[in-house]
Amino acid sequence: MSRQATFTEYITEEILLEIFYRLPAKSLGKCMCVSKAWNFLIKNPFFVSSHAIHQSKLRCRNNNNNKNLFFVMTGRHQVEYSLHLDDLEFSKYIQLEYMPSDNHHCVVGSCNGLLCLMDFQFNFDSVFILCNPIVRKSITLPKPCLCHLPYKISVGFGFDSVKNDYKLLKITKENALDKFVEVELYSLKRNSWRILAPPRYDLYSDDFMVFVNGVVHWIAYERVKEQGVYRCKFFIMGFDMRDDVFNEIMLPDNLRNLPNRSEIYVTTYDELSSIAVIELGCLHTLCNIWVMKKYGVVETWTKMFSILNPGPEPMPRVLGFMKNGDLMLSAYDNLQLVSCDPERSELGYFGIQGARTYVSSFTESLVLLDQVNGDDMTKNGAKYASNASHSIERAADGFTKLAANGEATNDSSDVEESRSSELFD
């Protein structure tokens, strides 16, 4: 009995899958070089999506033990990308060499290892790109239905766990006098945009939306008349990616009617799988951080921290939260990414500089592994949707047949092994 036959006799497909689900993407890249059967199994679209979901659950379940990563985009003239560990030193985990766009883009959001980029063109069109920097794959989305230059735009990227689909919500306001916004939704499975009936509320800012618990969130408001005087009532709008439904989340009483020259924005609070609202007081002299301790329960809004602005510059923007409780800030005075102990107001410097800074939690995944780089989705959307519907049973069946025929050996083609190695290195 050959060595490989002995291995497949004792390691069933079910056990192999359980092992693969727990491996990070780079380790799976090496496993793809072991045999044709393993390569076939790992590249199956259903396994790719299942692995991403499993890794996300592992990250939430073992928050203290798992390797938590942050994606960082920073730079002045030349933008750089890297992954960092969530430790005291914010240690660099890896420098990312592959990104599909130039310096004119910004990051909309990150979900299951997939980045959504918005590239500003010289003709003011917005081009959207989905990118997985780990497997070095990207796709350019088709143009939205509404392509006019908006007065205000907000975009949110997230995952529909029911339909196993990645979606992009785009809300625009054509000019300042418009009473209503326009809404479009992109589906990766369908590879198309569709126009949705808009909510009756207005966009507060052009900040990108944040994705938490299957919902993208942003700040909205409506003008209400009380005792003959119009005022703005603020709240959080949510769009559930699973059923394509808008919903409202009430803000704390203190934030529903903002005083002049104050500002608020919503961000993620990963420790509780919830959201936080950052309140910048008048002239940005004070920063209050409100956290919804139990997601969806308005009564659990809690003011966690209040931080005084230490200098004459505008209050640094809160980019995220570290697991030790520190805040990540983008300091305006020296254009640095810094940490802040909110209880002592002490700053720590990571040595990362850049006029443009974006930070988000990140999970390594294989999403887009089966894609062709470039504009493939704009031309082959139907083919992708068909491939994505393959089941894991077909992959397991293929593994069994290959092993039975003696093909599950280490003599995979040099071309395939080289491609898999280059993909993840």
pLDDT in tens, 356-375: 788 999 999 999 987 766 55
Place of tokens 């720590």: 348
Cα separation values, 16 from 7, 255, 272, 365, Å: 11, 51, 32, 18
Residue 321 pLDDT grade (very low, low, confident, very high; cuts 50, 70, 90): very high
Cβ-contact 51, 28 below 8 angstroms:
yes
Using the predicted structure, report yes or no on whether residue 221 has a pLDDT greater than 80.
yes
Q: What is the mean pLDDT of residues 82-99?
A: 90
- What rounded mean pLDDT belongs to the chain? 81
pLDDT of residue 407: 42
Cα 328 from Cα 357, distance rounded (Å): 11
DSSP at 416: H
What's the whole-number mean pLDDT along residues 38-43?
A: 88
Whether the per-residue pLDDT at 182 is higher than 70: the answer is: yes
Query: Quick one: pLDDT at residue 310?
Result: 66
Q: How many CB atoms lie within 10 A of CB 419?
A: 13
CA-CA distance, 167 to 209, in Å (whole number)? 13
**Which pLDDT score is estimated for 1?**
45
**pLDDT band at residue 400, thresholds of 50, 70 and 90?**
very low
Q: Among 97-111, 201-215, 317-331, 398-412, which range has the highest average pLDDT? A: 201-215
Rg (CA), the chain: 23
Q: Which amino acid belongs to residue 36? A: K
pLDDT of 209 reads 97
Q: Which position has the higher pLDDT, 403 or 202?
A: 202
φ, ψ (nearest 5 deg) of residue 236 = -100, 130
Q: pLDDT band at 188, cuts 50/70/90?
A: very high
The angle subtended at Cα 323 by Cα 317 and Cα 327, nearest 5°, is 20
Going along 147-270, which residue ranges are E strands? 152-160, 165-173, 182-187, 192-196, 202-203, 210-212, 215-226, 229-240, 245-249, 263-269
The pLDDT value given to residue 178:
77
pLDDT at 98: 82
Highest mean pLDDT of the ranges 143-157, 289-303, 360-374:
289-303
Task: State the pLDDT at residue 380.
Answer: 46
CB–CB of 360/110 below 8 Å?
yes
Pairwise CA distance, residues 317 & 331, whole Å: 7
CA 38 distance to own-chain centroid? 28
The predicted pLDDT at position 342 comes to 86
For residues 34-43, give the mean pLDDT: 87
Q: Would the pLDDT of 77 be above 80?
A: no
Q: Which residues contact 105 (CB under 8 A, 6 or more apart)?
A: 117, 118, 119, 120, 129
Confidence of residue 26 (pLDDT cuts 50, 70, 90): confident
* Whether the predicted pLDDT of 144 surpasses 80: yes
Average pLDDT over residues 64-82: 79
**Is residue 256 over pLDDT 70?**
yes
DSSP-based three-state secondary structure for 364: coil
Residue % of the chain over a pLDDT of 90: 40
CA dihedral sign, ordered 38, 41, 44, 50:
negative
Written as one letter, the residue type at 125 is D
How far is Cα 269 from Cα 274, in angstroms, rounded to an integer?
Answer: 5
Cβ 217 vs Cβ 207: under 8 Å: no
Backbone angles phi, psi at 349, to 5 degrees: -110, 130
Instruction: For the chain, give the percent of residues with pLDDT over 70.
Output: 78
Structural contact between residues 56 and 112, judged by C-beta atoms closer than 8 angstroms: yes
The helix (run of H) or strand (run of E) holding residue 319 is strand 317-321
Give the pLDDT band (50/70/90) at residue 311: low
d(CA 74, CA 113): 18
Q: What is the pLDDT of residues 259-292, one digit of tens each?
A: 777 899 999 999 899 999 999 887 777 889 999 9
